[in-house]
Amino acid sequence: MNLLIKNAKIIDDTSSHHLLTKDILIENGVLSKIEDSIENTSNYETLKLENLHVSQGWFDSSVCLGEPGFEDRETLENGLNTAGKSGFTSIAMNPNSKPVFNDNAQIFSVKSKTQHHAVNLKPIGALTVNSDGVDLAELYDMQQAGTIAFYDYKKPISNPNLLKIALQYTKHLEGFVYSHPLEQKISGNGVMNEEKLSTMLGLAGSPNLAEAMQVARDLFLLEYTKGKLHIPTISTRESIDLIREAKIKGLQVTCSVAIHNLFFTDEMLHDFDTKYKVNPPLRTQQDIDALLEGLSNGTIDYITSDHNPLTIEDKNVEFEHASYGTIGLESAFGALNTLFSTEIAIKLLTRGKKHYQIESFSIEVGEKANLTLFNPDEDYLFDKSCVFSKSKNSIFLDHDLTGRAYGIISNNQIILGK
């Protein structure tokens, strides 16, 4: 691909051009010139966009795509196009398909179908067979096929001995174990955060304790095994305290937070709107404040959209019976850029790559073109016209956001959303 990008402000603190507005020439997928002004002597395609900014390509560590088995929710092709239009050059795909990804043939299949796409798909394999929580899946074979981690999506590992064995087994594999932070016997039938509001609304609550107990148990097992553990989408101040202590001890633990858990509190549930039903549930402002502090001091390693497409039938029912989840790729940048400065938002969208051994490319001459294109200053109402996903279950619908992705340049291809 040959392309001349005009008047782009570069946001990349690893680059000598950081915060400078430059023309960027891409030849055969490589950055060949970065200068104040570049003449288009070769008559290449020219890209000019309003208030154009560029950064290294973004990464999301928790994305569901549906296919195979749930193509009514989302397909691989449209899901990857959605990621690209939303600014992501790499995503990690959860194994909650049908069948669940729990052997090397399934991993080979999804990688083969997506290998030529602009968005780099990294499959996560199931930790246990069919994600049933009973027997370990073919972890080594899946890792050889290209799996980057092992996770029974949103399913807690109730058997502590199973997690112990998994941590021991994966110590010398490149992939690592995810453990969903929820003690189900404490959470029970809880469908929202357990606080005064849950009592007022008459909804069963899931307390902070249900998350913290599971995190504490998992960290004890991690300390015993000396393995590698990722705790996805934490939501409570207690979890942050536990993980901070574990990191001080030198344990190999990482954690993430879903963007919507930084943006909304449980107060959004007054009208029983099922778009706000997520797992973990929306918590209190005190929890959000602790999460934001955890991001700033490095206790929380990275963010995720926790993108989970669901059909109208999954959501348009009574609150207690609605499915958990929201799409989040399209709103990820706008939400983060509303909460943080643009530079911090970009760091949060890129710093998870190193944990998954995804190569980063600085915006310098000679580097591979792996770029996200965006406008950080556009204010808009996030509505269905902003949604590229096949499913429309966005928690951010009808909320004001600031900043919108234009698309990506990756794998010698360009994807634009507007």
Supply the residues annotated as catalytic: 306
Residue 18 CB contacts under 8 Å (≥ 6 apart), including other chains: 10, 11, 12
- The candidate with the shortest Cα–Cα distance to 150, out of 158, 160, 142, 162, is 142
Q: 3-class DSSP state for residue 60?
A: strand
Give the whole-angstrom CA distance, residue 300 versus residue 100. Answer: 28
**Bridge-based pairing state of the strands 371-382 and 399-410:** antiparallel
- ∠ CA 200-204-209 to the nearest 5 degrees? 105
C-alpha span between 268 and 270 (Å, rounded):
6
Cβ neighbours of residue 410 closer than 8 Å, sequence gap 6 or more: 57, 84, 89, 118, 119, 120, 369, 370, 371
Is the bond leading into 123 cis (omega within 30 degrees of zero)?
no
- Contact predicate 203/173, CB 8 Å: no
For helices 76-85 and 104-114, the axis angle rounded to 10 degrees is: 60
Burial (CB count <10 Å: 0-12, 13-18, 19+), residue 270: exposed
Rg over alpha carbons for the chain, rounded to the nearest Å, is 21
Is there a cis peptide before residue 160, judged by omega within 30 degrees of 0?
Answer: no
